[in-house]
Structure 1
């Protein structure tokens, strides 16, 4: 995957393929006050038609790209809130009204369910509160109503006002749980990789724990020249000098030198290490050897003093730091045999659809399953432990049994979140008595995504050896993230709802976002946020820019396969040179590096 920098104007093959056959400026309309969202013919006609449709089901296989021309400034339908000021993760957030499901409006297209009683309404201790970010964004600091968390009774109609703003949905996902899962000790090794430190990593010893030679050469005492001492007079008998791993040596007399290896303990009395290539030896008439240094050997030269890297008790890493291979090495050097980490969230993947093939070429109206091979490694890169994917038929009873019996912390479904004849996710949630936290998001692609809170798993049945891995002690509340069936729409749901939820469950650091200038304008949706794949490149001035990629329709993966991030495009679009917030992908160079000074973990 290309990194964030590169030679201006030169792109890798994947990027060239992702933008093949399309002009760079073809994805954005001129910013004119008279531009009409209904502008007719041309390459954007399909996009404009999609934008005119109600925000409801995103049909499987749809490849249209939503958006209309940007007219003047951003849409007046609602002020654009900076999504990155929405707090999320690790229970470190300003008090916010909890984003919840939208109003309980009966939908005749969905399966009816008994009315459990009157809606209790908002909690009396939660009222409207001012937006803490409004002042910093130049917006009026007026209270906003706080939707109440209510059990899922009947699903809302797919109408414009029913879906949550993108930043609100993302904050709701992060705040759906109070904090990370239970913590425990894990052996220093591969099992610890991808977990998050539940406590600070402090040094158990000085590093280095003794004065150490940084080079092969001679340990010398005082100013030269020096008489080369026989090894047996300072080091252990039979040694060629002082080697790494040997115990303490006897003191080195003033004016003497002895051979020493890199990493060996400096003998008492030594003032410096003279590198082998900097020293000259000469045999003396009495048979001794005299060492001289034309460049000299100032005190402390090429000696790593005890405690140079850290002292015993120093904090090496803060809570919330992800365990990487380098962290394993640091912990080992600091004296650890195991690490205290949060448990990885367990995620069970349920891929829905009778039309999906699992091998071979698409045929007879059936298509290949693209999400099954993609989701497990993507979730693993987010720090989750995965079960599945399990492929389920479009059958309401089969889906109910799978969700009810899963003991995973999070269940992820693909497809079936709209209101079509075989979309069974909403009826299943009603049957389970689930609490719907987010039901549709004002984002393209992926607006039919949802987030629900489930009760404990029904019974103790396990679905084979693999599903048994999902059984874990600790909290019994589970969550379900419903992703749309279209591949890029599912990626949008993954980054909007699943990533913040898993970030809180795993205790991961909150990575501060980066804002990068757009190398080209991006066509916007009149009301919804757009998530657009971008590749990060270096421009002619040496700065990093985000190049929007084509093939970014809901059913397309060609653009995201060449991308480094998804750019968050506000309603109305963004012009060339305008900074955009980036959702870095887990494997991109920026996405894997935590921000310096970021805080994480539980207090």
Structure 2
């Protein structure tokens, strides 16, 4: 089947589903709201996609406040500041030279000292008017320096006196003390995510350690007897794509993944894993529907979990769920199909982890789509895209079981029910490792 065939089949199935729901193509009566659904009892109505994300954020906010920790700078990358970063010193902490050249005092020409001034050395002797000293970038200025003459803007005559080849202004190429900040100035607010540049600023401002919000601990439970961990698919068995993919993806979303456990279709093993986990987020793969080996719902019922989201009006990924399994523990149940699981990550895991980790939400942004995008008649649809100039290009191979499209994508486009016309602006959700504007496009 080609990618175009798969797309057309998707639309036909979506239209058939819409007809079934409206009663036009099905004589079977729809279950009443709150009526039992399948052998395990009542199931909730699917939650609209925006509301599902809001519920995930709200669930994280109602958890117990997470205690900040102090870490060394080299362990802080990617974490979030638990308190404002304030300067522990003036920056720079003394007057320094911004260029290689000469520190000069008064108007030229200048008599040049034999001894130069290097970075990292002690306080140099003061200059007198008409005197210059060779100086390196970053070196402490001699007292009474009036300017720095760049090496390319000066020359010495036969007698060794220094002349400027262009006008020298007072204060030229000097970085005065506290030019960037003064001791006690707030450099960055609470909640700033720590990037390499933030680490550099913290070090320059005098920090050896910083207070941060720790990463939420996450555990992945891979369900399904049909999954292989190596080799080629055979005899009805398929390779597990989610076990290798989810830990790195969750870490990119801010989690610390403490374990990846393969449980197969064993209801007892799943219940024991849920009862004994100390993770703040448990992520399961598959088993969220109502089939004979879909054990997630009945297991959650046995342990007394509270279902916060039970199905989401999004494609792919409709049978995802979010449950509170303890005071400070939540479970995100992902569908077993790989792209449907990615949809679950963005819908439920991302807002939950982001809020737990204290990260700021991505600023919403939209781009016009280059071509028409098929939509589901009733549900939101998430479609992998790349960017070409100011246009989002939808990628093929975007069926629930496919990863080929998302592997080449930089973002997911949020397609409203009914689809989008060419040129229509759609909200984009950046992939956590993608560089916006990537031009690669495999369709």
Superposition TM-score, scaled by structure 2 size: 0.92
Is the 8 Å Cα contact of residues 549 and 563 (structure 1) preserved in structure 2? yes
C-alpha separation in 2, matches of 1:46 and 1:164: 21
Per mean C-alpha deviation after superposition, the further-off stretch among 366-375 and 243-252 is 243-252
C-alpha separation in 1, matches of 2:9 and 2:122: 79
Alignment of 1:27-426 (within 5 A): 44-53=8-17, 104-107=34-37, 109-111=38-40, 154-156=42-44, 162-178=45-61, 181-189=66-74, 191-231=75-115, 241-284=116-159, 289-426=160-297
C-alpha separation in 1, matches of 2:221 and 2:19: 25
The alignment partner of 2:165 has SS state of coil
Residue 498 (structure 1) aligned with residue 382 (structure 2): no
Per-residue deviation at 1:45? 4.0
More helix by share: 2
Query: Which residue is equivalent to 2:301?
Result: 430
The alignment partner of 2:396 has SS state of coil
The alignment partner of 1:53 has SS state of helix
Q: Which has the higher contact order (CA 8 A, sep 6+)?
A: 1
C-alpha separation in 1, matches of 2:277 and 2:221: 10
Is the 8 Å Cα contact of residues 273 and 300 (structure 1) preserved in structure 2? yes
Per-residue deviation at 1:172? 0.3
C-alpha separation in 2, matches of 1:339 and 1:110: 52
C-alpha separation in 1, matches of 2:35 and 2:126: 86
Per-residue deviation at 1:364? 1.1
Residue 550 (structure 1) aligned with residue 403 (structure 2): no
Residue 535 (structure 1) aligned with residue 386 (structure 2): yes
The alignment partner of 1:178 has SS state of helix
Query: Which residue is equivalent to 2:367?
Result: 516
Per-residue deviation at 1:546? 0.8
Per-residue deviation at 1:323? 1.2
Structure 1 residues 402 and 318, CA, compared in 2 at 3 Å: closer, same or farther?
same
Is the 8 Å Cα contact of residues 155 and 426 (structure 1) preserved in structure 2? no
Is the 8 Å Cα contact of residues 14 and 376 (structure 2) preserved in structure 1? no
Match of 1:587 among 416, 433, 440: 433
**Unaligned regions of 5+ residues in structure 1, if any?**
1-19, 28-41, 57-101, 113-153, 157-161, 232-240, 456-475, 539-543, 592-603
The alignment partner of 1:171 has SS state of helix
Query: Which residue is equivalent to 1:68?
Result: none
Is the 8 Å Cα contact of residues 244 and 265 (structure 1) preserved in structure 2? yes
Per-residue deviation at 1:46? 4.7
Is the 8 Å Cα contact of residues 339 and 398 (structure 2) preserved in structure 1? yes
Is the 8 Å Cα contact of residues 109 and 161 (structure 2) preserved in structure 1? yes
Is the 8 Å Cα contact of residues 101 and 149 (structure 2) preserved in structure 1? yes
**Unaligned regions of 5+ residues in structure 2, if any?**
21-31, 438-443
Match of 1:568 among 392, 409, 414: 414
Structure 1 residues 52 and 21, CA, compared in 2 at 3 Å: closer, same or farther?
closer
C-alpha separation in 2, matches of 1:103 and 1:317: 50
Structure 1 residues 578 and 43, CA, compared in 2 at 3 Å: closer, same or farther?
closer
The alignment partner of 1:559 has SS state of helix
Is the 8 Å Cα contact of residues 223 and 287 (structure 2) preserved in structure 1? yes
C-alpha separation in 2, matches of 1:292 and 1:367: 78
For each residue in 1:341-366, what CA deviation from the matched residue of structure 2 results, as whole angstroms up to 9, or x when unmatched?
A: 11110000011111000011111111
The alignment partner of 2:157 has SS state of strand
Per mean C-alpha deviation after superposition, the further-off stretch among 520-529 and 177-186 is 177-186
Question: Runs of 4+ in structure 1 displaced over 3 angstroms?
Answer: 53-56, 102-105
For each residue in 1:170-194, what CA deviation from the matched residue of structure 2 results, as whole angstroms up to 9, or x when unmatched?
A: 00000003265221211111x2122
Is the 8 Å Cα contact of residues 110 and 427 (structure 1) preserved in structure 2? no
Per-residue deviation at 1:207? 1.0
Is the 8 Å Cα contact of residues 224 and 296 (structure 1) preserved in structure 2? no
Root-mean-square deviation over aligned CA pairs:
2.1
Per-residue deviation at 1:503? 0.9
Structure 1 residues 175 and 47, CA, compared in 2 at 3 Å: closer, same or farther?
same
C-alpha separation in 1, matches of 2:13 and 2:208: 60
The alignment partner of 2:269 has SS state of helix
C-alpha separation in 2, matches of 1:295 and 1:425: 78
Is the 8 Å Cα contact of residues 11 and 374 (structure 2) preserved in structure 1? no
More strand by share: 2
Query: Which residue is equivalent to 1:70?
Result: none
Structure 1 residues 368 and 254, CA, compared in 2 at 3 Å: closer, same or farther?
same
Query: Which residue is equivalent to 1:466?
Result: none
Structure 1 residues 520 and 46, CA, compared in 2 at 3 Å: closer, same or farther?
closer
Per-residue deviation at 1:307? 1.6
Structure 1 residues 590 and 316, CA, compared in 2 at 3 Å: closer, same or farther?
farther
For each residue in 1:204-240, what CA deviation from the matched residue of structure 2 results, as whole angstroms up to 9, or x when unmatched?
A: 1111111111111110111111111232xxxxxxxxx
Per-residue deviation at 1:49? 2.3
C-alpha separation in 2, matches of 1:49 and 1:587: 33
Is the 8 Å Cα contact of residues 449 and 481 (structure 1) preserved in structure 2? yes
Is the 8 Å Cα contact of residues 387 and 436 (structure 2) preserved in structure 1? no
